[in-house]
Copies of this chain bind each other. A is one copy, B any other.
Amino acid sequence: MSKEITARSEDYSKWYNDLVLKGSLADYSAVRGCMVIKPYGYALWEGMRDVLDRKFKDTGHQNAYFPLFIPKSFLSKEAAHIEGFAKECAVVTHYRLKNDPETGGVIVDPEAKLEEELIVRPTSETIIWNTYKDWIQSYRDLPLLINQWANVVRWEMRTRLFLRTAEFLWQEGHTAHATAAEAIAETTQMLDIYADFAENYMAMPVIKGVKSPSERFAGAVDTYCIEALMQDGKALQAGTSHFLGQNFAKAFDVKFSNKENKLDYVWATSWGVSTRLVGALVMAHSDDDGLILPPRIAPLQVVIVPIYKGDEQKAKIDEKVLAIVAELKQAGVRVKYDDSDNQRPGWKFAEYEMKGVPVRIAIGARDLENNVAEVARRDTKVKTSLSLDGLTPQISALLEEIQQQMFDKALAYRDSHITPADTFEEFERLLDEKGGFISAHWDGTAETEEQIKDRTKATIRCIPLNNPQENGTCILTGKPSVQRVLFARAY
């Protein structure tokens, strides 16, 4: 291998960084906490965006774009919201630089101070609801179903490539409804879309649930989430969908006249997923040799590498492979023929293994004579010799098989890592020895949740939807409880 990767067993965190950097997904930047998303990583995000965007539009949402900057006073209008975001926001205070006559350098022009500071959006509820005030008068203007693809900034102190960066890319849906029931239906619809995307495209099983009050989005009445499990046994929140009640409508005085011609505050939702999903994808499936990408999301699904000596062999292979490439493309397969002559086949094999391309096809002169090709799966590393006759349907079927088996494998791992604990000692032991989700009784108070977090670093990931009701006692306080909730250490 030309690029050494730290083994998961040795240092999981370093393994992750190695994959992101050596897999050409992203790079550190000169700006604290901000990353550069490299072309391969961006292609992955574009693929995710395109699938999600189609799903949003199919459910009646339209894209729009709102300002990057939020006046400080807006952020302060919803009490819980400002409480949640004040501590980590980038503040624009000036609008001009000037030459410094003393040093000859460039300084901020003190005379170009803004009257009111602008916050670089950490999320857009406030600027959007200030706008919705002008757009919504009557029930006929509802529902208003809008999504935005944008960058946001949260000045996180401890950052990780993709998982937690000061600036990240995301989509944020912001919808307005005439009734609470409609808004709640929207919230769960979007949660279902996220879950469907995670499971059927990312091959990453998720648990749908609702957050405990302490873990709610700042300003939400209820936060729904999808929670995934990474290979190190830590959970990762992969998407959230918030029922905002009338909180933002009240903060920005957005009322509508209903069918009975009476004024009422509008009901709201917001929901989002971010470039964090790229990090989740990496950690859910990859191994010590590099990325493993599920076919439906992989920027490149199949790579074909010729193995030859001399121009004559190359010409024969070219002829055959170009026909195969055309046929695969025709069938909608994202395929590349890497016949560049500046690297040897072994180097290419390692490179595409690192990049997680699901299927690698190698064709040599003898293969051509035998009318076969060597087909290698990235996920299982199994190699098969396949006939060149009818290769395209075989490859298409193989891609679907890989997709399904990647999901099945992740699901089996996840399901074997949801463990009940009935005492605090068992809870601690399971967290340390096994990881994953621990299903335990909790007395329902924020104090107990906080104490458990302080003592174990585990948080309540969610209360699963349709959670079985079961009487029990809180693992920490022994107080009565009516249901188990899922705890885990999390990213």
Contact = CB atoms under 8 A, between A and B. Distances in A.
A151 interface: yes
Copies of this chain in the oligomer: 2
B68 A34 contact: yes
Contact of A62 (B42, B76, B92, B169): B42
Contacts of A67: 29-31, 34-36, 167
A155 B91 contact: no
A117 interface: yes
A164 to B, nearest CB: 15
A66 B37 CA distance: 6
A278 to B, nearest CB: 11
A94 B36 CA distance: 22
A397 B157 CA distance: 59
A106 B37 contact: no
Interface string A3-46: 00000000000000000000000010111001111110011011
Interface stretch (A81-89, A399-407, A452-460): A81-89
Contacts of A342: 140
Nearest to A151: B68
A337 to B, nearest CB: 15
A99 B75 CA distance: 13
Contacts of A140: 342
B97 A91 contact: yes
Given A42-B64, A43-B63, A94-B93, A34 B69 contact: yes
A108 B93 contact: yes
B127 A117 contact: no
A440 to B, nearest CB: 36
A65 B34 CA distance: 11
A221 to B, nearest CB: 23
Contacts of A134: 27
Given A64-B36, A65-B36, A108 B127 contact: no
A347 interface: no
Contacts of A45: 65
Interface in A43-66: 43, 45-46, 62-66
A92 B95 contact: no
A36 B131 contact: yes
Contacts of A76: 105-106
A324 interface: no
B64 A130 contact: no
Nearest to A39: B62
A31 B153 contact: no
A420 interface: no
A292 interface: no
A472 interface: no
Contact of A91 (B30, B87, B94, B169): B94
A464 interface: no
Nearest to A74: B30
A167 B62 contact: no
A82 B106 contact: yes
A368 interface: no
A123 to B, nearest CB: 15
A90 interface: yes
Contact of A95 (B64, B69, B89, B98): B89
The 6 closest A-B pairs by CB, nearest first: A39-B62, A34-B67, A37-B65, A86-B97, A95-B155, A91-B94
9 contacts: A27-B131, A30-B67, A37-B66, A39-B64, A65-B169, A68-B153, A82-B106, A95-B155, A96-B155
